[in-house]
Structure 1
Amino acid sequence: MKHFSDLIQRLRARFADQRTYYWVFLGVLLVPNLFLCCTEPIVWPGKVALMLLPGAVWMALLTVAPKPGAPFWCTLPLLVLGAFQLVLLYLFGNSIIAVDMFLNVATTNSGEALELLGKLEPAIVGVLLLYIPALVLATLSIRLPARLSATFRRRNAVRSGILLLVGIGAMVGARLQDPEYRAKLDIWPLNIGYNMGLAVERWQKSDRYPLTSADFCFGAVSERPDSIREVYVLVIGETSRALNWQLYGYPRETNPHLSEQEGLICFRDVLTQANATHKSVPIMLCSASAENYGTLYTRKSILSAFREAGFRTAFFSNQSENHSFIDFFGAEADTTLFLKSAAQARGEAYNPYDDLLLQSVSGLLADTSFRKTFLVLHTYGSHFDYQERYPADSAYFLPASYDDVRPDHREVLLNAYDNSIRATDQLLSDLISYLRALPNTASGLLYASDHGEDLYDDARGLFLHASPRPTYYQLHIPCVLWLSPTYDAEWPESRLAAESHRDKPMTTNVIFHTLLSMGGIETPQRNDSLAVTSPRFTVTPRHYLNDHNKPRTLDRIGLGAEDIAMFRRMGLAFPAERVRDRLSAAGLE
């Protein structure tokens, strides 16, 4: 008991001294930097600079007042970003808060956010235990009568200057070792400020989209007569990865209905060009791609092209409006419906399943007064929380109910995820049945997911998507095409071309051009070398759109040896340069 009493007395004495608070606050401020030193692939001088430069600034900042609690409270915005950073490291295992992550926060509805936050208790509890007590201590520091001595403050100001110089030297050394090293990209929180600025810039540019694209015209016309009724449906999947589709060799029955569909063409080697919905879906819907993404701000979508060509168009979404390009493109249709937003406008709490989209589709297809119809369906697919994407009584893989997200819950998470894919399988099969039943109608359905998902698949322990560095699991997506017998009879060359290209490597920038080719839409924006239904389709190097909206080939986007091994296992094309060395170094050759 005496030892415990002595310990309490020592702690009281320690926390009656402002120097204790000074060092505690300095340590708390450097926690994100310490974690990033362990997670980021930076050359060792860069790691030194990552610690010393911010550390020097914090040391100087904490000396500006005799009570360090006051300047520490002034860093509250930085502490919030630090908490955000640590949660993302828990999720993704590496990388700073990316531009896309800031935009994801801005474009994610509250329901999605709550679904995710409710399952991240360990990370959230961890950051709260770090930052809340620190702020309490800062308040105590302000209230204490004691002050930092002038000598202490002066000495540490000098030390901070010395560390700053050493840090600058380390930064120069890092640049000499790695020509791509940049302080604004590799030193926290400078990189956070830089990315926030880019996010604001992109948001402002997208906000002006209705003005910057107002004068755009496809000059689109249909090359086909009205004597044959035509109906085409694009279904945009959500967070569905090819690895878990039965059609792609997955041992589980996740595609029991599509596996029995006659005439279905499954494209084996399709990669998304972005792993975040707000970027990947626009690439599908317009002629912008990773290679020319800047054109997105001045061009309209596939809906306008079909509309100009005389098609009745409709956009039905099971996702909420979020003031993104998806909303702008959807508004170009003759008929636009966001199921959740419509319900919220009526004051309803509503989380419909994707099969409710069928009601809107059936009503539209029943109207035969239009000879040409084009529909876009944006599903909620397999977006987390997976167990909310289908009725509980339809769960096929069990158990599928979980309360939190942890690696040791992977089997249950996987069950729920696979159940969501079965729900997509049912939706697509029902849509094909609708189209097949249309008399004397040339019809087609094209499905592609916007991106995939990490599901604690390997030793890296990665989960979800939209990580600054993508993985195989986020890149390889399912893409299937169905054409009706009437369509095949009228334009057999489209099926022949698609069948011949089914195993060729491609990315989601083919969706836009394939739809124009399928629908017989002539426009200067159509590029048949990117249309899988055209004999002119050409295989080109594949690019991914990185966080700073730069196109990068697959060997330059930070894929790990585990990812390259999965490319090989799945028989996907991958740039050969340096692959063998990277696999050998990881023991995966």
Structure 2
Amino acid sequence: MAMTKSAPAGRSAIDWAGLGWMFLFFWYFSGVTQALLWASGTTGSTGSRQVLLASALWLVPLLLFPGRTRLLAGAIGAVLWLCSLSGFAYFLVYGQEFSQSVIFIMFESNVNEAAEYLGHYFAWWIVLALVAYGLGGWLLWRKVRPVYLPRRAALVASLLLFTASVGYQGVRQFFKHEEPLAALEDFEKRIEAASPWQLVIGYRQYLRQLSNMETLLASREQIPPLNNLVDAHAGQPSTLVLVIGESTNRQRLSLYGYPRQTTPNLDRLRGELQVFDNVVTPRPYTIEALQQVLTFADQENPDLYLTTPSLVSVMKQAGYKTYWITNQQTITKRNTMLTTFSKQADEQFYLNNNRDQNARQYDGTVLEPFARVLADDAPRKFVVVHLLGTHMRYQYRYPEEFERFTDRSGVPDSVTDDQLPTYNSYDNAVLYNDHVVSTLIERFRATDPNGFLLYLADHGEAVFDAPDPQVLGRNEAAPTGPMYTVPFILWNSPKWQAQQARDFSASLHRPYSSSHFIHTWADLAGLRFDAFDPSKSLVSAAFRKRPLLIGDPEQPKNLIDFSLIKPKKPVDPSSEFVQQEREAKERPL
């Protein structure tokens, strides 16, 4: 018996097939892209789970007004289709997930840059895929039919669908947080993978973070330049490169004695490198660490990053053309400060526009723009290359061909069978990081430069390392050695070394905090100014040993010398990794 505008008398069976076609139609406009992202290994399954729930919301108006099912489905579907085109097309072109960072790049690019990118990535099959995508939506719309329920049943079903899709998470977050804005931000994270929220939330986040960044940039423009800056190499062509790693614990590098050969390329270059083996980071978090590494702030003066020039500004003042190449996320809430630093450079290359940090975005993507920068005819260049490095989750940090550590060979007995996959994936991530860093050095060396390349990580990472084999991640409240020990490696070109004739042997084992890095960089670059302190330079004859302060400088009483930290065996529930794991599990299935 065919359905009519009012359910026929005596008919009580629910048209489950009709409900299924409705749901499939609405799911299509978000689910296809998320399924492609998941199937390609670009992201995990979180987005797909979000889409399954969020898509159920659109069944509500169709159940409440069944007589207008086709009209409502068509109108809602048209909006979802239009909003989903950006995410679908972006995946086809770049193989990444659409985010607020993409919106930032779009508005930052001029017409010529946009045309260049379009010409580089455009292919006719993309047009065909977009046409097929639209056709698929139309075919599903033709399958949509009214589903009639008794009025009370329709109301109950609509309430349940609303609660399951958005209501429960919305109420839960607003009870969980005291601040409404914090509750809204957490709620947005639970639905932002679905159309149209991906575009709406992305644009709102873009506006919010852009405002924050513009405020920071405006304040930085008021910072006066360094007094009495003198450059020992003024007027000479030179290229200086700073490579910033991520979450890389030097204890897992064979270059530093780790038994597994995780850095075969750097090991091969060992004779050309200055390998400093006693450098620690002041803080185990990227933003907090780099606020000190890239400015004159330190653990005793943590707010100086707000009132003193950044390293980029110093190099511009010294007459260098400055570049920032980053594979980190661009304009997220956490990364706005880094984007502010990058915007001070003359040219930027933003390569990672994924919504989710846990996405396959390999650092090899920095090599092409690095080659372009090296080919730039500017006589004096300062280049920052910011890697995603070995950031959790480690299995997303390396392509399949670098998955070489898969068994227990070279693994401590303390590592359990459950821990082994994570332990191995971290070593594989270190192996790929070795490939990227060594390739940067080799390509730099091939240009016969007058300059140097320095690589250090922002912080380390504990991955079931001795003497605390149960600890995974980073937690400032329960510090362990691997969270703070970072690689610090210098490659000098023959030309630059000949000019300076420096002997680094006396400084390779000095205890040093990267919070004073700007003084070391200035010393290596031949810069002097009133704020320069040679006793804070790792490579200066005037170097003075200081306590390696770690901890939150906003709580000075909690600052401790790194040499005094004690092993912590339990996994602290507030650690960053545990929090991320918990959030992943709490996301609706």
TM over 0.5: yes
| 1:547 shift after superposition | 6.8
With over 3 angstroms needed to count, the CA separation of the structure-2 counterparts of 1:204 and 1:504, relative to structure 1, is farther
Structure 1 contact 272–508 (Cα < 8 Å) conserved:
yes
Structure 1 contact 444–483 (Cα < 8 Å) conserved:
yes
478-487 vs 391-400, greater mean Cα deviation: 391-400
| 1:462 shift after superposition | 2.0
The superposition leaves residues 503-538 of structure 1 with CA deviations (integer Å, 9 ceiling, x where unpaired) of: 011111232111111212233232221122322222
Matched, 1:531 2:540: no
Residue in structure 1 matching 2:463, options 437, 455, 468: 455
With over 3 angstroms needed to count, the CA separation of the structure-2 counterparts of 1:454 and 1:254, relative to structure 1, is same
Matched, 1:338 2:350: yes
Q: How many angstroms apart in 1 are the aligned matches of 2:477 and 2:214?
A: 24
With over 3 angstroms needed to count, the CA separation of the structure-2 counterparts of 1:311 and 1:80, relative to structure 1, is same
515-524 vs 214-223, greater mean Cα deviation: 214-223
Deviating above 4 A after TM superposition, structure 1's stretches of 4 or more consecutive aligned residues are 73-79, 203-208, 555-558
| Counterpart position of 1:393 | 401
Residue in structure 2 matching 1:214, options 217, 221, 224: 221
Q: How many angstroms apart in 2 are the aligned matches of 1:471 and 1:295?
A: 27
Structure 1 contact 291–551 (Cα < 8 Å) conserved:
no
Following superposition of structure 1 onto structure 2, how do residues 271-282 of structure 1 map, counting pairs within 5 Å? 271-282=280-291
Tell me the SS of whatever aligns to 1:515.
helix
AA aligned opposite 2:349: L
Structure 2 contact 550–561 (Cα < 8 Å) conserved:
no
| Counterpart position of 1:155 | none
Residue in structure 2 matching 1:270, options 279, 283, 288: 279
The superposition leaves residues 25-84 of structure 1 with CA deviations (integer Å, 9 ceiling, x where unpaired) of: xxxxxxxxxxxxxxxxxxxxxxxxxxxxxxxxxxxxxxxxxxxxxxxx9996697369xx
Structure 2 contact 284–474 (Cα < 8 Å) conserved:
yes
| Counterpart position of 1:250 | 258
Matched, 1:327 2:339: yes
The superposition leaves residues 207-239 of structure 1 with CA deviations (integer Å, 9 ceiling, x where unpaired) of: 843343322133374523556421111111101
| Counterpart position of 1:359 | 368
Residue in structure 2 matching 1:241, options 236, 249, 259: 249
| 1:249 shift after superposition | 1.2
| Counterpart position of 1:80 | 176
User: Where does the alignment leave 5 or more consecutive residues of structure 1 unmatched?
Assistant: 1-72, 83-101, 115-202, 401-405, 564-589
The superposition leaves residues 86-133 of structure 1 with CA deviations (integer Å, 9 ceiling, x where unpaired) of: xxxxxxxxxxxxxxxx99x989x979x99xxxxxxxxxxxxxxxxxxx
The superposition leaves residues 414-459 of structure 1 with CA deviations (integer Å, 9 ceiling, x where unpaired) of: 11111111111111211111222223x3221111111111223366
Structure 2 contact 325–348 (Cα < 8 Å) conserved:
yes
Structure 1 contact 272–476 (Cα < 8 Å) conserved:
yes
Following superposition of structure 1 onto structure 2, how do residues 158-173 of structure 1 map, counting pairs within 5 Å? none
| Counterpart position of 1:311 | 320
The superposition leaves residues 367-410 of structure 1 with CA deviations (integer Å, 9 ceiling, x where unpaired) of: 2x22211111111000011111111122121259xxxxx96422
Tell me the SS of whatever aligns to 1:510.
helix
Structure 1 contact 435–484 (Cα < 8 Å) conserved:
no
Residue in structure 2 matching 1:491, options 497, 500, 506: 500
| 1:284 shift after superposition | 1.1
With over 3 angstroms needed to count, the CA separation of the structure-2 counterparts of 1:525 and 1:415, relative to structure 1, is same
The superposition leaves residues 236-289 of structure 1 with CA deviations (integer Å, 9 ceiling, x where unpaired) of: 110100110112211010111111212211111111101111101221111111
Q: How many angstroms apart in 1 are the aligned matches of 2:562 and 2:275?
A: 28
Tell me the SS of whatever aligns to 1:477.
coil
AA aligned opposite 1:371: P
Structure 2 contact 279–511 (Cα < 8 Å) conserved:
yes
Matched residue pairs, number?
366
| 1:550 shift after superposition | 3.1
Q: How many angstroms apart in 2 are the aligned matches of 1:204 and 1:393?
A: 42
AA aligned opposite 2:339: D
Matched, 1:231 2:327: no
Q: How many angstroms apart in 1 are the aligned matches of 2:249 and 2:463?
A: 10
Tell me the SS of whatever aligns to 2:244.
strand
With over 3 angstroms needed to count, the CA separation of the structure-2 counterparts of 1:319 and 1:74, relative to structure 1, is closer
Matched, 1:300 2:306: no
| Counterpart position of 2:521 | 515
AA aligned opposite 2:418: H
Structure 1 contact 293–549 (Cα < 8 Å) conserved:
no
Q: How many angstroms apart in 2 are the aligned matches of 1:461 and 1:273?
A: 23
Structure 2 contact 547–562 (Cα < 8 Å) conserved:
no
309-318 vs 508-517, greater mean Cα deviation: 508-517
With over 3 angstroms needed to count, the CA separation of the structure-2 counterparts of 1:276 and 1:297, relative to structure 1, is same
Matched, 1:418 2:427: yes
Tell me the SS of whatever aligns to 1:509.
helix
| 1:339 shift after superposition | 0.6
AA aligned opposite 2:317: E
Q: How many angstroms apart in 2 are the aligned matches of 1:106 and 1:295?
A: 29
With over 3 angstroms needed to count, the CA separation of the structure-2 counterparts of 1:370 and 1:337, relative to structure 1, is same
Q: How many angstroms apart in 2 are the aligned matches of 1:510 and 1:216?
A: 20
The superposition leaves residues 174-207 of structure 1 with CA deviations (integer Å, 9 ceiling, x where unpaired) of: xxxxxxxxxxxxxxxxxxxxxxxxxxxxx99988
Following superposition of structure 1 onto structure 2, how do residues 472-491 of structure 1 map, counting pairs within 5 Å? 472-491=481-500
AA aligned opposite 1:384: M
Q: How many angstroms apart in 2 are the aligned matches of 1:74 and 1:421?
A: 39
User: Where does the alignment leave 5 or more consecutive residues of structure 2 unmatched?
Assistant: 1-168, 194-209, 409-414, 570-589
| Counterpart position of 1:181 | none
Structure 1 contact 407–461 (Cα < 8 Å) conserved:
no
Residue in structure 2 matching 1:503, options 509, 520, 538: 509
With over 3 angstroms needed to count, the CA separation of the structure-2 counterparts of 1:350 and 1:336, relative to structure 1, is farther
With over 3 angstroms needed to count, the CA separation of the structure-2 counterparts of 1:366 and 1:216, relative to structure 1, is same
Tell me the SS of whatever aligns to 1:482.
strand
Structure 2 contact 213–340 (Cα < 8 Å) conserved:
no
Q: How many angstroms apart in 2 are the aligned matches of 1:374 and 1:554?
A: 34
Q: How many angstroms apart in 1 are the aligned matches of 2:497 and 2:563?
A: 40
Matched, 1:543 2:549: yes
Tell me the SS of whatever aligns to 2:530.
coil
Structure 1 contact 314–333 (Cα < 8 Å) conserved:
yes
AA aligned opposite 2:224: C
| Counterpart position of 1:171 | none
| Counterpart position of 1:64 | none
AA aligned opposite 1:446: L
